[in-house]
């Protein structure tokens, strides 16, 4: 789904019970304004710059927002059935942010000509899957 600048701000602010973050075009991520975790309500303001990208998730859905030319592309992925073995945790480089970033690998079965056309699992994409309380850098 594509949205314009005003629509994307409204969409982000309409998200309830999601964790995530927003990266603006004109400044670094501010952990107090741009990162939403635990029970912090998602609320961003329309600024001089624009939302360059954003990632949100709850227990069943991951949302990716990317700015492309004059529009924003919103992509949703079902993460409800992602196996724990298909997730990775990463330490954030944001100062005094004591959470790890969790990413989920989404795999799909495809026939592969290099494997006698047998079905093999291929990585389709990696999506944001939330924050985990943990050590900062």
pLDDT digits (tens, 9 = 90+) for 28-77: 999 999 999 988 889 998 888 899 999 999 989 999 999 999 899 999 99
Domain ranges of the chain: 2-133
pLDDT value for 1: 82
Where residue 27 falls among pLDDT bands split at 50, 70, 90? very high
* pLDDT number for residue 136: 53
Q: What is the pTM of this model?
A: 0.87
DSSP string, 40-93: PPP-----SS-EEEEEEE-SSEEEEEEEETTEEEEEEEE-TT--GGGEEEEE--
- The Cα 52–Cα 43 span in angstroms is 16
Instruction: Indicate the SS3 state at residue 137.
Output: coil
pLDDT of residue 72: 94
> In this predicted structure, what is the pLDDT of residue 111?
95
43-55 pLDDT, tens digit each = 998 888 899 999 9
Number of H helices, E strands in the chain: 1, 9
């Amino acid at each position: 789904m594509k949205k314009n600048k005003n629509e994307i701000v409204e969409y982000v602010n309409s998200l309830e019970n999601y964790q995530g973050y927003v990266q603006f075009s004109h400044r670094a991520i501010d952990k107090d304004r741009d990162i939403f975790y635990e029970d912090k309500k998602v609320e961003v303001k329309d600024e001089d710059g624009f939302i360059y990208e954003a990632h949100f998730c709850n227990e069943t859905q991951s949302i990716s927002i990317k700015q492309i030319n004059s529009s924003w592309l919103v992509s949703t992925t079902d993460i409800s059935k992602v196996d724990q073995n298909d997730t990775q945790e990463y330490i954030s480089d944001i100062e005094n942010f004591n959470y790890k970033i969790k990413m989920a690998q989404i795999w799909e079965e495809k026939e592969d000509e290099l494997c006698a056309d047998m079905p093999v699992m291929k990585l389709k994409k990696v999506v944001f899957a939330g924050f985990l309380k943990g050590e900062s850098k």
